[in-house]
Structure 1
Amino acid sequence: MPKVLQPPDLLRRIAILEDRLARLERAGWERDELPLFPTSLHGLVYEDNTSFTTYWETIFIPRAGTLALAMVTIGDVVSAVNTGGEWQVKLNDTTVVGSGTVPATFTYSFPTLSVSLLPYLNAGSLKVQLQARRTSGATTGGKYGAGGSIGLAPTYARLL
């Protein structure tokens, strides 16, 4: 006896689609990690400059609405003198989109930042730089001889 092909049941197809949609909504949005590259051979860069120095950077094509950044910073202690500073995130070498302080202690801090990329969605490329500078502390000694050093490194960069 020949097999009869049943016409697709519309209600069954809708139930399958609703189930797939529910699974996607439970999974949430997928996040893309943005790689940042050090501008030095060190992993956690220590510098003793009093002007802003780029520690990490990348160039990418913006295809998401938000860049979520988290960093780790650390100050220094040289001969019982605490050294601190400032950090900033710069876009395209001109626009500072976030800034903060590096505590003048030899302990880690973990600043976070959320950057809107909406003004840059039509751009061909976007440069992101993580920068820091020393603002207080020892003026001699330290790792490079010009005073206490501060460190800055990203812990994550996600395109949301």
Structure 2
Amino acid sequence: MSSLFSKNSSFTLSSSSTISNGSNTSLNSSNFDIDPLKLLTSKLSKFRDQISQTLLSTPEGFSSLSAFIDDFCFFYGFNPSERARSFGYFSLYEFLKSDYMKGRVCFKINFNGELFLFPLADDNTRQIFNQILISYDERIQRNKRRANLGPFSKRRNFY
């Protein structure tokens, strides 16, 4: 019984085309020339931007790492700790403290030893962050005025 492939025969995938939905997809090696480093860098950059956007969305900062993780999961639908581990970091905290996140996040530890996370705006996000701060300050002032007016401030006096 002869074998279909002998030891000396070689199998090569030549340039073949398949037509699917009107597009010509070639199986040449040029379609698979995706640089893994470039792909990893783009994913890491996107993750860094997502973290920065979440931090910038709360100008008063986050009172804990778990509060930040909760907000991040709400906004993006995945756990940032798991994503940081997939990039080779031991934890999300290690990723946030890395040189890659330098200039985007600030850590403060209060006298109780609690960790606070604050956003840092760079040149690209400074104007947006300033607008968020103005909006946040206006909202705080409005809430203070309402609290000072008392419980009957929304009622109109009809005599």
Structure 1 length normalisation: TM-score?
A: 0.27
Structure with a larger share of its residues in helix: 2
Structure in which a larger fraction of residues adopt strand: 1
Which structure has more relative contact order (CA 8 Å, sep 6+)? It is 1
**TM-score (normalised: structure 2):** 0.27
